[in-house]
């Protein structure tokens, strides 16, 4: 199966022990690889459930995002 870049992306949110206050995330494209990676504060995700209400996701990127194709 051949997939064009951008058609299949996976968001990975790693589990951690309960007392850790942040979780590592990665966004990976099946063709081009890692798009973005970083951390998300657990407290932010808990207080903003069940949705983000149109606000930007509360993340701390540690891997720069790739430029988006227009």
User: pLDDT tens digits for 19-68?
Assistant: 888 889 899 999 999 998 999 888 877 776 666 566 666 677 776 666 65
Distance, C-alpha 15 to centroid of its chain: 13
Contacts of 26 (CB under 8 A, 6+ apart): 11, 12, 34, 36, 37, 63
- pLDDT for position 10: 92
**Residue whose C-alpha is closest to residue 8's, from 39, 37, 31:** 31
| Reported pTM | 0.65
Higher pLDDT, 26 or 1: 26
Query: What is the spatial distance between Cα 47 and Cα 45, in angstroms, rounded to a whole number?
Result: 6
């Amino acid at each position: 199966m051949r997939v064009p870049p951008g058609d299949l992306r996976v968001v990975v949110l790693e589990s951690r022990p309960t007392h850790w206050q942040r979780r590592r995330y990665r966004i990976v494209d099946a063709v081009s690889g890692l798009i973005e990676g970083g951390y998300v504060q657990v407290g932010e995700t808990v207080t903003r459930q069940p949705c983000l209400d149109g606000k930007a996701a509360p993340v701390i990127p540690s891997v720069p995002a790739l430029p988006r194709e227009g």
